[in-house]
Structure 1
Amino acid sequence: CSYQLCICAPPILLGWQTGGTQLHVWLTPFPSPQYGIVLDAGSSHTSMFIYKWPADKENDTGIVGQHSSCDVPGGGISSYADNPSGAGQSLVGCLEQALRDVPKERHAGTPLYLGATAGMRLLNLTNPEASTSVLTAVTHTLTQYPFDFRGARILSGQEEGVFGWVTANYLLENFIKYGWVGRWFRPRKGTLGAMDLGGASTQITFETTSPAEDRASEVQLRLYGQHYRVYTHSFLCYGRDQVLQRLLASALQTHSFHPCWPRGFSTHVLLGDVYQSPCTVAQRPQTFNSSAWVSLSGSSDPHLCRDLVSGLFSFSSCPFSRCSFNGVFQPPVAGNFIAFSAFFYTVDFLRTFMGLPVATLQQLEAAAVNVCNQTWAQLQARVPGQQAHLADYCAGAMFVQQLLSRGYGFDERAFGGVIFQKKVGWGLMFNMPKSRPTDTEAAAPGHGGWAVPGIGSCAHLPLQLLRLLELPRREADSLRALSVRLPRKPSQPAKV
């Protein structure tokens, strides 16, 4: 049925006609839902998300909610550098699902996007021709389907960071909120910082009051009539997968064993795989046999593992008044943070599977040491069925602890404001084109003007890829239960 029952009556009236008061009942057309499809092409895999929202007849704005999803089999599209057509073919299964999940009459009007992240950024740096070929093949496949294809492109690290920050605070209603009194208002609470740890890169983004000494790390946003100065930086080659590759390369160079792997675990390593990444190019020997296999065993040595991880960070020079690491400017971390993706998976492993407390930096360090002391037999007994990644949790935990404490400069007080949450994928806010500039302007000095997800108080939502977070229903007192939509007025969808 495409109609909804609407009842208009005095607030005190709960029944039908009584004492001369009439209860009015009528039928009004229910807005037809609209759909949008996003392919999140990450470094290790691609996920498809289908979003659905009720169309508003006045200006086609709506509230985006996830309708369905699909994980593309195989690796990320960047893994098809030698077989570009395979990148497009890998998407077919999920696109066929989209044909079924989106009503046929809505196919032509359903926007379809693909956003690629750090894996494709790396490929574009080392082999731009292959990167172009992969995107061309992907585009060819996507245009074969009856959806409204809007493009496939590589997102910058800065876009990743800012999109994640905007979306997290949007969902937490830190920009604007609909109150019980029937009015929209701006909460007086501050924003939360966002930290993302992907497969090939990691991002940190938070609001700051002072201008950045490195203008390339600053983005200025105007959201709901409010101005925000945001610091953001993306560290390529500091995603979890690339960190593990770099640690493996270091272990091969400095030891005859891997100190971060558990004692009793061993495997054969193909040297060509170790050094094919641009993130390990600095560690690549001048001469080596790329076809050679090397046997490597773990030693369960937390102290040597810490030394190996510390070698990933350089604090030797800083051209600014203060830096995070590798000479990158960063103001002091301020406010509370949400840390997601591999941050969450690492900490969740320590808490859930190992039963270790991680409420403080000291506890996080102790938990990392605890995991690194485990033998392969002990880990398998504690965590059955997790063998695919089990040997890497020591290195992952040690890296997260070092990144947060030494890299980003979190002390115990600041770390107490970090909440670890699981990421869902890329979300999408549709129906941009005619936002009011005063409410949606955003500039990134040093990078030219580019549009970021500005959200005007009565403007259309911009057409940008945004990261959605899967936030639990029960949260700390400071974070109430969340959903993927803003609260509604009683009789119509929320306008943002």
Structure 2
Amino acid sequence: MEIRLFPIFLWIAFVASNQEHDGSEEIRDELSPELAIEEANEPRFFAAVIDAGSTGTRLHLFEFRHAVEGATEPFELLREVKPGLSSFADNPAGAASSVEILLSHAMTVIPKRLVPHTPIILQATAGLRLLSKEEADSILVHVKQTVEASGLLLGDEAVGILSGREEGVFAWFTLNFLTGRLSFIEEDAEDRTAVALDLGGGSTQITFNQQVSSDGDEDSHHVSIFGREFQLYSHSYLGNGLIAARLSIASLLGEEDSTLLETHCLPHGVTIEDWKYAGKTFQVHPSEEASFEKCLEQANHFVENITTVKKIEKLNSFPIFAFSYFYDRGVQVGMVRTEPKTRGGWVQAKQFKIAAEQACNMKAEEVGEEHWKPWLCMDLTYIYSLLSTGYGISDEKNIHLTKKMRDMEVSWALGAGFHLLNSYHKEHFENFKSRNNSSNIFNEVVSYISTKATNVLVFLNLIS
């Protein structure tokens, strides 16, 4: 797979900063004219990404703005509705209605004149991957009709199911972009990129720059970003998300397809009634032998013998950032602080083990009413097992748990938003170029943007 994140969408800001070019007015008038209808001294444009996850559907609305006086960072608006689209397997019209709530909110933010020029994608992840093809297709048909009716700019394949590989690569881009680790361009520059670990409800992804090509390896992907080539390793494990793993681990002691589950991973005296997942309702009870040690045995058995997660010893030599449920559970047990601005912090892998032991030893009266608290023993034990037994990360390895950076969420959405804008604007550039083959000014400027992308990004304060 090759993804090219060519920064053409930064064109307006570039023109605003290069008024001395004799041909700048000609280019300003021709390139992306739909987006230039805003006031000349404050170009702005939007991109909408809807992440249809297994537990909820989230709108990421990105606004990019540049004024003559200076640039501002992109702004991200978040809005979420629950449950996820996969919960509407028997009611696809209900899935469309949940998406309509998000679209209505977006319309209160996007200026009316920019609506038809705002590209949008809606991509479902593990939740819909776990449904049958007929169920998933029915949901997507209804949802696409709703998105089309919004008037936003919708491509032919803009509504669909995101592959686990794309989810991993886009999340890796988002992480390394927001941390400034993509700010080097020279071919001999030292690689400072980090490993991205994403733990969703239905699947988990691991992505990092392995620097050398692995011929024949289906997990190896060539990516071109800002003029630099990367050889990424990216793998998505469907069924290894936190919520999916709950069901698999809790089912190890009982009969197949039973909705009455017994597990070593609940504190004594704690039961979970009417837990709904994958279209079924379960009752979950602790076993007589319930303890952290027995729970870890179950989690390790699941990771080692039932799933295909494999060790990657070289991970211990890379900086590692983990987000989504990795961050959520870490925050909930006090491993990192939520302030300032949910930036998270560094922890050692073994801290998940320590927190799991404490959670498994909780008394029933200590559990509380929060919906996630009864699951803490299992969740934390599974996370530790995934990191250590699964990926081979040492107990002492430092991992940065994070949720937001620069007020933007670390997820695949920002990477997809950049790719979306890139594709949209590249089409306009190529159309203009085909009509103006003799324009040396145009070719000169496009070449400049391509080879000096980092300078433009620094100008926009997108990279620190």
Bin the TM-score by the shorter chain. 0.7 to 0.9
Classify 1:329/1:407 alpha carbon distance in 2 versus 1 (closer, same or farther; 3 Å): closer
Higher relative contact order (CA 8 A, sep 6+): 2
For 2:98, give the aligned amino acid. S
Q: Is the 8 A contact 1:51 1:64 kept in 2?
A: no
Say if 1:41 and 1:114, in contact at 8 Å, map to a contact too. Answer: yes
SS of aligned partner of 1:262: coil
CA drift at 1:133: 0.9
Q: CA deviation at 1:378?
A: 2.2
- 1:203-352 to structure 2, matched below 5 A, reads 203-212=205-214, 215-253=217-255, 257-269=262-274, 296-297=285-286, 301-314=291-304, 326=308, 328=310, 330=312, 332-333=314-315, 334-351=317-334
1:326 maps to amino acid: T
- Is contact 1:194-1:337 (8 Å) kept? yes
1:121 to 129, 133, 140: 129
What corresponds to 1:420 in structure 2?
401
Tell me what 1:78 maps to.
Answer: 86
For residue 123 of structure 2, give the secondary structure of its aligned residue in structure 1: strand
Matched, 1:53 2:55: no
Q: Which residue of 2 aligns with 1:202?
A: 204
Q: Which is helix-richer, 1 or 2?
A: 2
Output the CA distance in 2 between the equivalents of 1:32 and 1:211. 40
Distance 1:96 1:202, change over 3 A: same
Q: 1:301 to 1:314 in 2, by over 3 A?
A: same
Instruction: After TM superposition, give the deviation of residue 66 of structure 1 in Å.
Output: 2.8
What is the TM-score of this pair, normalised by structure 1? 0.68
| 2:159 counterpart letter in structure 1 | A
Q: Quick one: which of 100, 104, 117 aligns to 1:92? A: 100
CA distance in 2, matches of 1:173, 1:486: 14
Whether contact under 8 Å (2:250, 2:261) holds in the other structure is: no
**Equivalent AA in structure 2 for residue 194 of structure 1:** A
The correspondence for 1:169, drawn from 171, 176, 200, is 176
User: Is the aligned partner of 1:35 residue 2:46?
Assistant: yes
Q: Give the partner amino acid of 1:163.
A: F
**Residue number among 135, 139, 143 corresponding to 1:130 in the alignment:** 135
Instruction: Say if 2:272 and 2:374, in contact at 8 Å, map to a contact too.
Output: no
Task: After TM superposition, give the deviation of residue 29 of structure 1 in Å.
Answer: 3.7
**1:103-146 Cα distance to aligned partner (Å, 9 max, x none):** 112112111210111111111xxx21111111100001111112
Cα distance in 1 between the residues matched to 2:67 and 2:422: 11
Residues 1:65 and 1:251: Cα distance change in structure 2 (over 3 Å): farther
- One-letter identity of the residue aligned with 1:110: T
In structure 1, the gaps of 5 or more residues are: 1-5, 7-27, 179-183, 278-289, 317-324, 381-385, 437-455, 463-484
Partner of 1:466: none
> What percentage of aligned pairs have identical amino acids?
24
What residue identity is the alignment partner of 1:145? S
In structure 2, what is the equivalent of residue 378 of structure 1? Answer: 366
Q: Quick one: structure 1 residues 259 and 172, their matched pair in 2 at CA, closer, same or farther if it must change by over 3 Å? A: same
Residue matched to 1:360: 348
Match of 1:92, as an amino acid? E
- Could you say what secondary structure the match of 1:108 adopts? helix
**Structure label with greater radius of gyration:** 1
Q: Which residue of 1 aligns with 2:371?
A: 388
Residue aligning to 2:75: 66
Instruction: Label 1:84 to 1:313 Cα distance change in 2 as closer, same or farther (>3 A).
Output: same
Indicate which of 131, 147, 153 corresponds to 1:148: 153
CA shift digits 1:407-426 (9 cap, x unpaired): 1011245x22x211116352
- Is the alpha carbon distance of 1:366 and 1:236 closer, same or farther for their aligned partners in structure 2, counting shifts above 3 Å? same
How many residue pairs align between the two structures? Answer: 383
Structure 1 residue 328 displacement after superposition: 4.8
Partners of 1:209 and 1:390 lie apart in 2 by 41
Output the CA distance in 2 between the equivalents of 1:200 and 1:457.
43
Deviation at 1:44, TM superposition (A): 0.8
CA distance in 2, matches of 1:372, 1:353: 20
CA–CA distance in structure 2, aligned partners of residues 146 and 222 of structure 1: 32
Q: Which stretch shifts more, 89-98 or 326-335?
A: 326-335
Deviation at 1:432, TM superposition (A): 2.3
Q: SS state of the match for residue 173, structure 1?
A: coil
Instruction: Find the counterpart in structure 1 of residue 449 from structure 2.
Output: 458
CA distance in 2, matches of 1:137, 1:187: 48
Alignment of 1:478-489 (within 5 A): 488-489=458-459
Deviation at 1:163, TM superposition (A): 0.9
Residue 61 of structure 2: SS of its match in structure 1?
A: strand
Structure 1 counterpart of 2:265, one-letter code: C
Q: 1:97 to 1:128 in 2, by over 3 A?
A: same
| Among candidates 50, 55, 59, match of residue 44 of structure 1 | 55
Give the 3-state SS of the residue equivalent to 1:231 in structure 2. strand
Q: 1:363 to 1:111 in 2, by over 3 A?
A: closer
User: Quick check: 1:177–1:487 contact (8 Å CA) kept in 2?
Assistant: no
d(CA) in 1 for partners of 2:193 and 2:235?
Answer: 17
Once the two structures are TM-superposed, the CA of residue 363 in structure 1 deviates from its matched residue by 3.6
Instruction: Flag the 1:347–1:251 CA change in 2: closer, same or farther, 3 A.
Output: farther
